[in-house]
Amino acid sequence: MRFKDKTALVIGGNSGIGLSTARGLSEEGAKVYITGRNPETLAAAEQEVPGLRAFQADMADIKSLQPVLDVIREETGRIDSLFVNAGIGTFIGVRDVTPEIWDQVHNVNLRGAFFTTQSALQLMGKGGSIVITGSIGSKLGMPGNVIYSSAKAGLRAMARILAVELVQEGIRVNVVSPGPIETPLINRNVGMDPAEVDGLRQQMISGVPMKRMGEPEEVARAALFLGSDDASFITGVDLYVDGGTLEL
């Protein structure tokens, strides 16, 4: 019960890693709020996780987060644990990148992540924890991954600065960086059809020493550790959950 009597907000908590983390937070005693874009999966999450409150919001639309912040302010008055998880992906060759696709990904994965975190800080204080979902793509030179990887590299730098600035306020900031994980995100790569997605999946598996995709729960356990008081002397780290891809 590491999160007993605490309030948690999971951005992008309606599927995959975010939903697994929201479920874990609830099981360990937190009052959990989530956001997401899909009303059907949001409703399903509310049915699945006891006490969870779900709100429709798009991380690319900064103002869409305010309603859930207003509710949290009224109901609990604070956010103890913030998990910034929402994101989109794309695989596209350098010569085929367009400003429109670049902006679509960066508006969520980098710009949206920063301003979402900034907005949530109005309800955070000493003892608070922020965990941001990064990616091993921030370090891995993978062909076709220039847009996503550059956004995640920027996100890693952003988290480092947040950690430095917020440590004096007693707020910890850490990153959990998944490798290839079997989540709905892999099926939402901009411009890729199902056959191309399956080819990408097989390519990813071939580069993992454990020779499999990871599961959302395996990343959620790392996020829960970083967000809990078990990690009370840890800030500014990037924890890889990648089956050994970067290390071996």
CB 71 within 8 A of CB 33: yes
> What are the extents of the domains in the chain?
7-241
pLDDT digits (tens, 9 = 90+) for 74-121: 999 999 999 999 998 888 999 999 999 999 999 999 999 999 999 999
pLDDT at 183: 81
Q: Is a pLDDT exceeding 80 seen at residue 184?
A: no
More confident position, 198 or 185: 198
For residues 44 and 46, give the distance between their C-alpha atoms in angstroms, rounded to a whole number: 5
> pTM of the predicted model, to two decimals?
0.94
pLDDT at residue 191 in the model = 66
Residue pair 246/210 in contact (Cβ under 8 Å)? The answer is no
Give the chain as a 3 state SS string.
Answer: CCCCCCEEEEECCCCHHHHHHHHHHHHCCCEEEEEECCHHHHHHHHHHCCCCEEEECCCCCHHHHHHHHHHHHHHCCCCCEEEECCCCECCECHHHCCHHHHHHHHHHHHHHHHHHHHHHHHHCCCCCEEEEECCHHHCCCCCCEHHHHHHHHHHHHHHHHHHHHHHHHCCEEEEEEECCECCHHHHHECCCCHHHHHHHHHHHHHCCCCCCCECHHHHHHHHHHHHCHHHCCCCCCEEEECCCCCCC
Could you report the per-residue pLDDT of 125-176, keeping only the tens digit for each? 999 999 999 999 999 888 889 999 999 999 999 999 999 999 999 999 999 9
Residue-wise pLDDT for 8-56, tens only, equals 999 999 999 999 999 999 999 999 999 999 999 999 999 999 999 999 9
Backbone angles phi and psi of 170, in degrees to 5: 80, 20
Query: C-alpha distances in angstroms, 154 versus 32, 128, 147, 161, 164?
Result: 28, 23, 11, 11, 16
Q: CATH says 7-241 is which class?
A: alpha beta
What is the pLDDT, as a whole number, of residue 141?
Answer: 84
The answer to whether 148 is a known catalytic residue is: yes
- Catalytic-role residue among 19, 148, 200, 223: 148
Give the Cα separation of 112 and 115 in Å (integer).
5
- What is the reported pLDDT for 147? 96
